[in-house]
Amino acid sequence: MIAAVLTALLFASATQYATAADNNHCPSGWTFSTNTSYCYIQSSQYMTYSEADPYCQSIGGSQVFVFTTRELTWLTDFTSSSLVQPWIATTRNTTTNIWYNSDKTTPPRSYWTTGEPGVNGDCATFKGITTAGLKATQCYSLQPALCRQMPALCPTIKDYGGSSTRSGTIQSPGYPVQYYNNLDCWYTITCKFRNSLICQIVIVSAPKNTYITLLFNPYMVQDYVDYIDVYDGPNSSYPFLGTTDYWYFLRFDFESSNNSVSFKFHTDNIITDKGWQLTWNAKSNTPPISQSGQNGSFTSPNYPNDYDPYTEQLYYITAPLGFQVNVSITDFVTELNFDILEIYNSSYVSSNYLVANLSGPSIAPWSWVSPSRYVTMRFKSDYMVQKKGFSLFWFIQ
């Protein structure tokens, strides 16, 4: 099982391991192996075989068994100065006389030291000098425990969002296999919208019209002691928005009040789970514009000046009962295919009711009569090119 987990992790996240070439990712006293990407510790006290795994678990790890020749080499190096051979999580089934690791696999012949496994004992220790390998030992014998645990690895990318992103997903380290113990991973999402004319300058004030929504789904994290704290700004000096797990009260969605949100994934030193996936979206916080009565008119924001990047503006028309709505666009200039006015023959946005998806320089004049008394429109711009937008009027008929 652990071998499978490790294989999957090495396969899925080689880059995360590349950042782990120092010992800082292991709790104090543990040694990081660049060869196996695990943290190891050997106990100073001696104990019987059955006490070894509970001991390892009590300090946040599990008992070592040898899962690759690479680890065999590492363990040889790690234990070579040890006077007493440590326990290895490998035992003999006395009925079948077959040896099993704690994950139910059987160690290959080559992992045993010369002349082993002998008949003298049903539990294995590790001999760290030539020829290094497993050795059968009496289970009541007193030996040190040898423990390992996954290192605490946070992603190297901590900042998400930026000038060209308005949504995304983030996964916990190791997701969907397993996250690590001892984490305090920081993530910051900031939506900085760029002025297309002066690309080098990040206009932090432009996103005054945005906020960010977070939704953690799935969320498979150990109750209570592992959690995510969310802050309403780029770091923890901003107001606390909430936590995913407050005394077992779970919460998965959060909303920032401005263009930046940050959160910390904290894990303790024992028990992990599969982790989480976050979907985030930068949203416009300009309120929808609603009109009713017999006639009215709308323009894009700032019209006839250019609309802003990342505009998202909703318009609702409600005509009196029994009437229909004639919508006539008199002026329309947007970035083709990217800055779009959507028109719906319904009272809300729904892809089922989309009647027009307008963009570009050559839409106007355009007109349409709604089949009902409701019209909903949504104008969306991206970050790149801004233009003057549109002007339209409507009346009942």
Ligand X SMILES: *[C@@H]1O[C@H](CO)[C@@H](O)[C@H](O)[C@H]1NC(C)=O
Nearer to ligand X, 140 or 224 (CB): 140
- What residues pair up with 62 in beta bridges, in sequence order? 148
Cβ closer to ligand X: 47 or 363? Answer: 363
Contact between 189 and 278 (Cβ < 8 Å): no
**Is residue 54 close enough to count as binding ligand X by CB under 6 A?**
no
Does 196 bind ligand X (CB under 6 A)? Our answer is no
The residues in 200-219 that bind ligand X, with binding defined as CB under 6 A, are: 204-205, 208
Question: Between 75 and 183, whose beta carbon lies closer to ligand X?
Answer: 75
The region of 14-22, 147-155, 266-274, 367-375 touching ligand X under the rule CB under 6 A is 367-375
Closest approach of ligand X to the CB of residue 95, in Å: 4
State the nearest-atom distance from the C-beta of 221 to ligand X, in Å: 25
Q: Which residues pair with 246 in a beta bridge?
A: 249
Looking at beta carbons only, is 195 or 277 nearer to ligand X? 195
Q: Tell me, what DSSP letter sits at residue 4?
A: H
To 5 degrees, how large is the angle CA 100–CA 104–CA 107? 45
Q: Which stretch binds ligand X (CB under 6 A): 10-18, 53-61, 88-96, 382-390?
A: 88-96
Q: Which stretch binds ligand X (CB under 6 A): 53-61, 144-152, 315-323, 368-376?
A: 368-376
DSSP labels, 213-249: EEEEEEEE--TTTSEEEEESSSSTTSPEEEESEETTE
Question: Are the beta carbons of 388 and 333 closer than 8 angstroms?
Answer: yes
Total interface residues for ligand X by CB under 6 A: 34
Is the Cα dihedral 218, 154, 57, 80 positive or negative?
A: positive
| Binder among 355, 363, 364, 385 for ligand X (CB under 6 A) | 355
Q: Which long-range contacts (CB under 8 A, 24 or more apart) does 26-34 make?
A: 26/149, 26/151, 26/152, 27/60, 27/149, 27/152, 27/181, 27/182, 27/269, 30/61, 30/149, 31/78, 32/151, 33/71, 33/74, 33/78
Rounded Cα gap, residues 384 and 394, in angstroms: 30
Q: Which is nearer to ligand X, 131 or 337 (CB)?
A: 337
Strand order across the 210-220 sheet? 167-171, 275-284, 210-220, 253-255
In contact, 143 and 43? CB cutoff 8 Å = no
Site for ligand X in 4-43 (CB under 6 A): 35
> Does 340 contact ligand X by CB under 6 A?
yes
Q: Smallest Cα–Cα separation from 381: which of 300, 302, 310, 284?
A: 310
Site residues for ligand X, 307-336, by CB under 6 A, read 326, 328
Residues 229-288 that bind ligand X (CB under 6 A): 234-235, 237, 258-259
CB of 170 to ligand X, least distance (A): 20
Nearer to ligand X, 24 or 205 (CB): 205
Q: Is 14 exposed, middle or buried (0-12, 13-18, 19+ CB in 10 A)?
A: exposed
Q: How far is the CB of 101 from ligand X (least distance, A)?
A: 12
Is there binding between residue 353 and ligand X (CB under 6 A)? Answer: yes
Q: Which of 15, 50, 294, 297 binds ligand X (CB under 6 A)?
A: 294
| Binder of ligand X out of 44, 95, 156, 200 (CB under 6 A) | 95
Q: Of 61-69, 131-139, 155-163, 364-372, which part binds ligand X (CB under 6 A)?
A: 364-372
Element at 8 (helix H, strand E):
helix 2-12
Q: Which of 54, 108, 288, 293 binds ligand X (CB under 6 A)?
A: 293
Stretch of residues binding ligand X (CB under 6 A), selected from 136-144, 151-159, 217-225, 365-373: 365-373
DSSP summary character for residue 167: E
Check if the beta carbon of residue 54 is closer than 8 Å to that of residue 165: no
**Site of interaction with ligand X (CB under 6 A):** 35, 73-74, 77, 93, 95-96, 204-205, 208, 234-235, 237, 258-259, 293-295, 326, 328, 337, 340, 345, 351, 353-355, 357, 359, 367-369, 371, 395
